[in-house]
Amino acid sequence: MIPLRDNQATRRLTLVNVMLIAANVVVFLHELTLGRGLEGFVYEYAMIPARVTSALEGTREFARVPYDAGAPALETIFTSMFLHGGLLHLLGNMLYLFIFGAAVEEAMGHARYLAFYLISGVAAALAMAAFTPHSNVPVLGASGAIAGVLGAYFVLFPRAWVTTILPIFVLVYFVEVPAIVYLLVWFVAQLYAGVSQNPEVTGGVAWWAHVGGFLVGILLGPMLATSRPARRAR
Report how far Cα 211 is from the mean position of its chain's Cα atoms. 10
CA distances from 33 to 25, 132, 224, 230 (A): 13, 31, 38, 44
Residues annotated catalytic, as ranges: 143, 210
Q: What is the pTM of this model?
A: 0.90
pLDDT at 62: 53
CB distance 4 to 99 below 8 Å: yes
In the chain, which ranges are E strands?
2-6, 161-168, 171-178
Report how far apart the first and last C-alpha atoms of the chain are (Å, whole number).
18
Rg of the chain over all Cα atoms, to the nearest angstrom? 18
CA distances from 129 to 2, 54, 67, 77, 190 (A): 29, 10, 20, 10, 16
> Which residues make beta-bridge pairs with 175?
164
Lowest mean pLDDT among 35-49, 68-82, 136-150, 211-225: 68-82
Give the pLDDT confidence of 14-36 residue by residue, as tens digits: 999 999 999 999 999 999 999 98
The mean pLDDT value for 184-208 works out to: 79
DSSP-derived secondary structure letter, 80? G
Q: Which residues contact 175 (CB under 8 A, 6 or more apart)?
A: 1, 163, 164, 165, 166
Q: Which residues contact 163 (CB under 8 A, 6 or more apart)?
A: 3, 4, 5, 6, 7, 174, 175, 176, 177
**Res. 60 pLDDT band, cuts 50 70 90:** low
CA–CA dist 50, 35 (Å, integer): 26
Lowest mean pLDDT among 42-46, 69-73, 190-194: 69-73
Lowest mean pLDDT among 8-22, 98-112, 163-177: 163-177
| Side-chain-facing half-sphere of 179: CA atoms under 13 Å | 25
Please work out, in degrees rounded to the nearest 5, the angle formed at the alpha carbon of residue 41 by the alpha carbons of 197 and 193: 10
pLDDT at 160: 94
Give the pLDDT confidence of 157-173 residue by residue, as tens digits: 999 999 998 888 778 88
**Nearest of 139, 136, 146, 108 to residue 24 by alpha carbon:** 146
The total number of residues written for the chain in this structure: 234
pLDDT at 156: 95
- Mean model confidence pLDDT for the chain: 88
Q: What is the largest CA-CA distance in the chain?
A: 57
Domains of the chain in start order, with CATH, are 2-224 (1.20.1540.10)
Q: Give the strand pairing for 161-168 and 171-178.
A: antiparallel
